[in-house]
Homo-oligomer: A and B are copies of this chain.
Amino acid sequence: MNLKNKNFINTQDWTLDELDYILDLASAFKNNSLSKSLAGKSIALLFFNPSLRTRTSFEIAMHRLGGFASIIQPGKDAWPIETREGIVMDQEAEEHIKEAVRVISSFYDAIAVRAFPKFQNWQEDKQDSVLTAITRWALKPVINMETIIHPLQELALMMTIKSHFSDPRGKKFLLTWTYHPKGLNTAVANSAALISTRFGMDVTILRPQGYDLDPQFIETAKANAASYGNAVTITDNIEQAYHCADFVYAKSWGSLNYFGNWEEEKNIRRGLKHFIVDSDKMKLTNNAFFSHCLPMRRNVKATDEVIDSEYSLIYEEAENRLYTTCALLTAIFGGAL
């Protein structure tokens, strides 16, 4: 399968066959060890926001494959960057994203980007303008390392699911909102809805009133589900949601209704701590597995008992980030195992 130089912006842009090819390649990397198919290749990792797992998994993946990853943190170890076009650049930004991207992509063989929302205005944030601008100007393939979706986490999640369910179709996937002291990004939640429906799971989203995900992702998830004859259930009924679930995936996110008004939203959020994943809730399931994308606040999103249980797959999902990244990079650079 030739995936050379294909952008990895959204799993929806890839066919199911292409995604399966990556997941199979990732399993091969998990069992296997070493390949030097990326010798002399390099990737620029643009972090507009901090990272632990994503950065290190890319660094190691590139090294194992014989290549090299540079970390670039605009506004931190490089200057601030302008993304708007046609502007007179007499303010803070020293460089336009067009120049930065053209130059970076003349140096490197691929570009990966993390650019979170600014959390002031969702209508602006949902334009995903940094990633869009970079993709527009890049001369080399672009990989999304989390913006308003997190497709790399999708690969790791689905690799984990498929290693426990030979056929995920029809299995009940519960995406549950949980409390967190901050109003977090919806990216992983959006992505969980996309990838679980994409692989034919029976998806329920449990969230409090006022915490709906953006319609663009829900509509896509529903269309994904419909192609299998499934629906997507959205509810605030905790018992019904957990009932007979096969896989419980926890994530916290801030309310899109209160975007930018975080002090006001905080008061509502504070009343919702009972969404924590605990053993009592897990008993309602069909011996479900539990996972989360990490980092995770213990005894806030889930109890120690759940996190440290035998059905917890958090470390497996995290480790799969490395293998799915190895697979994706190999495919995009046109290498072979």
Contacts of A95 in B (CB 8 A): 52, 294-297
- Nearest CB on B from A126, distance (A): 24
- Nearest CB on B from A181, distance (A): 5
Complex Cα distance A49/B295, Å? 22
- Would you call B59 and A103 a contact (CB within 8 A)? no
Task: Find residues 62-115 in chain A having any chain B CB closer than 8 Å to their own CB.
Answer: 63-64, 67-68, 70, 72-73, 77-79, 82, 86-91, 93-96, 99-100, 102-104, 106-108
Q: Given A59-B68, A78-B52, is A300 in contact with B89 using a C-beta cutoff of 8 Å?
A: yes
Q: Given A64-B40, A79-B295, is A315 in contact with B106 using a C-beta cutoff of 8 Å?
A: yes
B56, B79, B99, B314: the one contacting A104 at CB < 8 Å is B56
**Total chain A interface residues with beta-carbon distance under 8 A:** 58
Complex Cα distance A190/B132, Å? 38
- Would you call A70 and B56 a contact (CB within 8 A)? yes
Contacts of A67 in B (CB 8 A): 63
- Would you call A52 and B34 a contact (CB within 8 A)? no
Contacts of A33 in B (CB 8 A): 40
- Chain A window 23-36, contacts with chain B (Cβ cutoff 8 Å), 1 for yes, 0 for no: 00000000001100
- Nearest CB on B from A223, distance (A): 34
A236 in the interface (beta carbon within 8 A): no
The 9 closest A-B pairs by CB, nearest first: A95-B295, A89-B297, A63-B68, A106-B319, A52-B78, A88-B299, A103-B318, A34-B40, A94-B295
A interface residues with partner B (beta carbon < 8 Å) = 33-34, 39-40, 42, 44, 50-53, 55-57, 59-60, 63-64, 67-68, 70, 72-73, 77-79, 82, 86-91, 93-96, 99-100, 102-104, 106-108, 181, 294-300, 304, 314-315, 318-319, 322
